[in-house]
Amino acid sequence: DRRFTKIIRMPKIFGKFRPEYCDLPTMVWNVEVLLRTLTIRSYRRLNKLMDLIDEYLRCNELIVKGTRFEKNFLKNMKTVKKQATVTWAVSMLNSATYLTVPLLRPGRHFTQDMYVIYGLEPMLESPNFEIATFMMVIVYITLFVIVIIGFLESQMLALSVELTNIWEDSKKFYNYYILQHNESGDEYEVRNVFVTNRLRDILKFHIMNINLRNKVEKELRFIFVIDFIFMMLGLVTELLGGLDNTLFQFSFTLGIVFIDCCIGQRLIDASIAFETAVYDCKWENFNLSNQKTVLFMLQCSQKTMTLTAAGIAVLNFIFLMSVLKSTYSAYTTLASFT
């Protein structure tokens, strides 16, 4: 029976949400499953979004299985998946607590008696359903951003390890070359041949990461700026309403703002780590051709990869402090008139 077979497979399917399943295709599938719970499907709906996902998957296919690069990449992706899982769990716990509060109070109560969403009744009819869904889907979109930016972060950190160890790896390659060919070639030349090939691969991944970051910036930049505008308005409104009345809403809104800025900050940190690794790769031992390649990589890496809100502001912890400062200033100004 097909239904019975599906029930049997459910533990295996949900098991793919564990941190151990941290490869990119599985993580994209995880986010899609969560989006389906809101009847939103990421696949084959938005061509631009699908093109972006396809670009990521093609880049992921270039990773050679069993290499140190893959192991470090998956190690970093495992951390990314844990962060996404914690983000989802905390957000859902906040929502579940928010919805459970009226059930624990005596008498008839709404989730927030003083909070009324005018015009959203009945909730299951258009456009009320679409508006309510948009208010809920922000958590799942945030998970998607964590995954795609976490992919870039993980690759940049893994590439940093490869660069740091490239000269030592060339020594191992030379020893292997002697063992296989039973002859002692020019060590300097053999090692630089290895370095040339390795630098070519690293540079290819670096350029792909830059292109992916540019595409993410192009497709999502206005989402970020609209998100922050509404988040700032929400924070000001919730402060004016009093934290004793809007604690759950305020914590949720502040959490989303923090996560967006944290994602951008981690991408910046990974980009800086790669830049440092380029300079620390013992380039002084390379031949002139490889030194020129390293110089080109250094010039590229000095333009730090960032996420911006429509090019207006870089998403990082400095911007987070600016948002909080601006929000509090707006709150004190409006509160003085009440």
Whole-number Å distance between alpha carbons of 255 and 83: 13
14 pLDDT more than 70: no
Amino acid at 218: K
* Contact assessment for residue 94 and residue 248, using Cβ atoms and an 8 Å cutoff: yes
**pLDDT tens, residue by residue, 25-58:** 777 777 776 666 554 454 444 567 778 888 998 9
Report pLDDT for 233.
82
278 pLDDT more than 70: yes
Residue 96, classed as helix, strand or coil, is helix
Report pLDDT for 6.
46
Query: Domain limits of the chain?
Result: 2-335
Q: Tell me the average pLDDT of the chain.
A: 79
Q: Which residue has the tokens 């290819």?
A: 204
Before 19, cis peptide (omega within 30)? no
* Contact assessment for residue 193 and residue 288, using Cβ atoms and an 8 Å cutoff: no
β-partners of residue 314 are 308
pLDDT higher at 10 or 197:
197
| Three-state secondary structure of 126-187 | CCHHHHHHHHHHHHHHHHHHHHHHHHHHHHHHHHHHHHHCHHHHHHHHHHHHHHHHCCCCCH
Candidates 234, 237, 167; CA nearest to 196 is 167
189 pLDDT more than 60: yes
Whole-number Å distance between alpha carbons of 125 and 157: 47
Report pLDDT for 182.
66
Element counts in the chain: helices (H) and strands (E): 10, 0
Report pLDDT for 152.
94
**pLDDT tens, residue by residue, 114-151:** 444 444 455 455 554 555 555 555 666 777 888 899 99
Candidates 106, 223, 205; CA nearest to 157 is 205
Whole-number Å distance between alpha carbons of 314 and 261: 9
Residue 27 in tokens: 């993580």
Q: Which residue has the tokens 């989006």?
A: 35
Candidates 16, 17, 28; CA nearest to 59 is 28
Report CA 245 to chain centroid distance, whole Å: 32
Report CA 127 to chain centroid distance, whole Å: 31
Residue 120, classed as helix, strand or coil, is coil
Whole-number Å distance between alpha carbons of 275 and 142: 27
Query: What's the start-to-end Cα distance of the chain, in Å?
Result: 66
Amino acid at 191: R
* Contact assessment for residue 53 and residue 28, using Cβ atoms and an 8 Å cutoff: yes
**pLDDT tens, residue by residue, 68-127:** 999 999 999 999 988 888 887 777 776 666 666 656 666 555 455 444 444 445 545 555
Residue 117, classed as helix, strand or coil, is coil
pLDDT category of residue 305 using cuts at 50, 70 and 90: very high
Amino acid at 318: I
Query: Residues with Cβ < 8 Å from 8, sequence gap 6 or more?
Result: none
Dump the DSSP string for 284-297. GGS-HHHHHHHHHH
* Contact assessment for residue 166 and residue 285, using Cβ atoms and an 8 Å cutoff: no
pTM of structure: 0.81
